[in-house]
Amino acid sequence: MNVALTQTGRSARRPPGPGAVLAALAAAQFTVMLATSIVNVALPQIRDGAGLSDGGTTWVVNAYGLAFGALLLAGGRVADLLGRRRVLVAGLALFVLASVAAGLATSPGVLIGARAVQGAGAAAIAPAALALAMDGFPPGPARGRALGVWGAVSGAGAAGGVLLGGVLTQAWGWPWIFHSVAFGAVLVLAAVAVLVPRDAVRETAGRFDLLGTVTVTLALTCLVWGLTTARGAGWGDPPVLGALGGAVVLLAAFCVIERGRPQALVPVRLLTAGRVGAGNLLMALLGSVWIALFFFLPLYQQQVLGSGPLVTGVGQLPLAGAHMLGSALAPRVARRFGATATLTAALLTEAAGLLWLSRMSADGTYPVDVLGPSVLVGLGLSVAFVQLTGLAVDGVPRQDAGLAGGLVNTTRQVGGAIGLAALATLAGSVTAGASADRPSLEALTAGYRAAFTVSAAVLAVTALLALLLTRRTGARTPAAPAPAGPASDPAPGPEGSPLSPVRQNTP
Q: What domains can you pick out in the chain, each with its CATH number? A: 17-197+263-469 (1.20.1250.20)
- At residue 502, the pLDDT reads 34
More confident residue, 167 or 191: 191
Least confident stretch, 1-15, 104-118, 241-255: 1-15
> Which tops the pLDDT comparison, 305 or 206?
305
Q: Which of 458, 429, 459, 420 is nearest to 64 (CA)?
A: 420
Q: Is 58 exposed, middle or buried (0-12, 13-18, 19+ CB in 10 A)?
A: buried
- What single-letter amino acid sits at 49? G
Q: What is the pLDDT of residue 498?
A: 41
How crowded is residue 481: how many other Cβ atoms within 10 Å of its Cβ?
8
Q: Tell me the pTM.
A: 0.77
pLDDT above 50 (res 487): no
Q: What is the pLDDT of residue 484?
A: 37
Helix axes 339-357 and 372-391, enclosed angle (nearest 10): 150
DSSP class of residue 497 equals S
Q: What is the pLDDT of residue 492?
A: 38
Short-list 147, 137, 125, CA closest to 21 = 137
pLDDT for res 188 = 95
Question: Dihedral through CA 505, CA 501, CA 335, CA 372, nearest 10?
Answer: -120
Q: Is the pLDDT of residue 448 over 80?
A: yes
Cα(158)–Cα(138) distance, integer angstroms: 28
Give residue 485's pLDDT.
Answer: 38
DSSP state of 373: H
The Cα–Cα gap between 374 and 377 comes to 5
| Mean pLDDT score, 69-82 | 83
pLDDT of residue 190: 96
Q: Who has greater pLDDT, 502 or 189?
A: 189
Any idea which of 151-165, 200-214, 444-458, 490-504 has the lowest mean pLDDT? 490-504
Per-residue pLDDT tens digits for 219-275: 877 887 787 677 667 778 888 889 989 999 999 998 888 886 777 777 777 776 667
Read off the pLDDT of residues 349-391 as tens digits, 9 standing for 90 and up.
999 999 999 999 999 899 999 999 999 999 999 899 888 888 8
pLDDT(200) > 90: no
Mean pLDDT along residues 393-407: 73
**Per-residue pLDDT for 206 more than 80?**
no
Instruction: State the angle between helix axes of 43-50 and 108-135 in degrees (0 to 180), rounded to the nearest 10.
Output: 140
| Cα distances (angstroms) measured from residue 108 to each of 59, 68, 112, 191, 219 | 10, 19, 6, 33, 24
| 292 compared with 467, residue with greater pLDDT | 467
- Percent of the chain exceeding pLDDT 70 equals 84
Picking from 388, 355, 410, the residue whose alpha carbon sits closest to that of residue 462 is 388
- DSSP letter for each residue of 278-346: HHHHHHHHHHHHHHHHHHHHHHIIIIIS---HHHHHHTTHHHHHHHHHHHHHHHHHHHHH-HHHHHHHH
Answer whether 376's CB lies under 8 Å from 326's CB. no
What is the residue type of 424?
A
Instruction: Yes or no: say if 137 and 146 are a contact pair by the CB < 8 Å rule.
Output: yes
Residue 157 is predicted with a pLDDT of 80
Which residues lie below 8 Å from residue 119, measured CB to CB, with a gap of 6+? 63, 64, 65, 66, 67, 68, 69, 71
Amino acid at 354: L
CB neighbourhood size of 504 (10 A) = 11
Is residue 495 over pLDDT 60? no
Under the banding of pLDDT at 50, 70 and 90, the label for residue 477 is very low
pLDDT value of position 140: 62
Using CA atoms, how far apart are residues 145 and 137, in angstroms rounded to an integer? 9
Over residues 180-205, the mean pLDDT reads 83
Q: What is the DSSP letter of 205?
A: -
Cα 395 from chain centroid (whole Å): 21
pLDDT at site 434: 75
In angstroms, the first-to-last Cα distance of the chain is 65
Collapse the DSSP code of 397 into the 3-class scheme (helix H, G, I; strand E, B; otherwise coil) and give the result. strand
Contacting residues for 498 by C-beta, under 8 A, at least 6 apart: 275, 279, 334, 339, 343, 387, 388, 390, 391, 394, 470
Q: What CA–CA distance (Å, rounded) separates 142 from 259?
A: 37
Confidence grade of residue 497 (pLDDT, cut at 50, 70, 90)? very low
When pLDDT is cut at 50, 70 and 90, the band that residue 499 belongs to is: very low
pLDDT at 478: 35
**If you average pLDDT over residues 276-281, what whole number do you get?**
86
Backbone phi, psi, residue 504, to 5°: -80, 135
Q: Taking all residues of the chain, what is their mean pLDDT, rounded to a whole number?
A: 80
Residue 289 has pLDDT above 60, yes or no: yes
How far is CA 226 from each of CA 2, 222, 246, rounded to the nearest angstrom?
70, 6, 10
Lowest mean pLDDT among 12-16, 304-308, 363-367: 12-16
Which pLDDT belongs to residue 273?
A: 62
Tell me the mean pLDDT in the region 123-139: 82
3-class secondary structure, 454? helix
pLDDT at position 253:
92
